[in-house]
Amino acid sequence: MSGPTQPFGARLHAAMAARGRVCVGIDPHPGLLAAWGLDDDVAGLERFSRDAVAVLGPLVPALKPQSAFFERHGSRGVAVLARVLADVRETGALAVLDVKRGDIGSTSRAYADAYLDPASDLAGDAVTLSPFLGLGSLAPFVEAARTHAGGLFVLALTSNPEGAEVQHARAADGRSVAAGVLDGLRALNAEDAATARASGRSPDPLGSFGAVVGATASLPAGADVAIGGPLLAPGMGAQGADATDVRRLVGDASPAVLASTSRQVLAAGPDPDALTAACRSALTAAAPLGAG
């Protein structure tokens, strides 16, 4: 399979301009399968995921399959994930593969090949990553993203209560861990912009190296979320946050926000009309983020 030619950030910027700023998670956990009247098996997994993609894919800029819910069904579940990623591409949406991987050396390279190289049937347009072995440990992912026009969403500030003990902790230079991650991503996007200018091109309107910033998270002192790349913001809808909360958190960086939601939309299924209505409602709720 041949890969995209435009960088992920440019493609996401165009997709958000055309379709809005919501990324729906494809999270086929047992409770949702049951709510859809499906068995918690591979057949139910496939029916749920592919039906959801068929309805939602044409409406939103991105879909985010959560790999864990496929992996729990073993090799046949991973095969379903590959089919779901192909379905996402056919709808014109971008696939953000939610795997939250983070490792070092050759292992990190192997994960990068699996999730970003178009030769793999598990490749997405972007992948979520954990930087807590050190942001430098993600270098193979950075290289793969640049080679294959892919994107990264790196955990920086998460909404779970346990996250703050790591993300708000202070490193030897006095910065919080979250601030260090955000600063590193800003530097990567700045490098790409400088490379574009040096080659006589205008920099892309949005970089390809993004951060995960929970909509209900708190911002440590000195952390700047204006990184020149996208901000994937879970927490709107079922977790209680709205566009006002997100704008308060990220300030002038709100046009870079891609709001991530899952249960609020998926719980409306399996009826396609109800699923469509829930998705359109989420898009309307997130629209103010684009106002800057």
Q: HSE of 283 in the Cβ direction (CA atoms, 13 Å)? A: 19
- Convert 36-52 to b/e letters by CB count within 10 Å (16 or more is b): bebebebebbbbbbbbb
pLDDT in tens, the chain (292 residues): 678 889 999 999 999 999 999 999 999 999 999 999 999 999 999 999 999 999 999 999 999 999 999 999 999 999 999 999 999 999 999 999 999 999 999 999 999 999 999 999 999 999 999 999 999 999 999 999 999 999 999 999 998 889 999 999 999 999 999 999 999 999 999 999 999 999 999 999 999 999 999 998 989 999 999 999 999 999 887 667 889 989 999 999 999 999 999 999 999 999 999 999 999 999 999 999 987 6
Q: Among 50, 89, 100, 263, which one carries the catalytic annotation? A: 100
Give the pLDDT confidence score for residue 236 in this predicted structure: 80
Length in residues, the chain:
292
pLDDT of residue 1: 63
What are the phi and psi torsion angles at 234 (to 5°)?
A: -75, 155
With CA atoms as reference, report the closest residue to 97 among 75, 72, 74, 65.
65
Q: What is the pLDDT of residue 80?
A: 98
Q: Is 64 a catalytic residue?
A: no
- Set out the domains of the chain in order of their start, with CATH numbers: 8-286 (3.20.20.70)
E runs forming strands in the chain: 22-26, 62-65, 94-101, 126-129, 151-157, 209-213, 231-234, 257-261
Q: CB under 8 Å to 117, separation ≥6 — which residues?
A: 3, 123, 144, 148
Q: Which two tokens stand for residue 264?
A: 């609020």
The pLDDT value recorded for residue 9 is: 98
- Calpha distance 292→290 (Å, rounded): 6
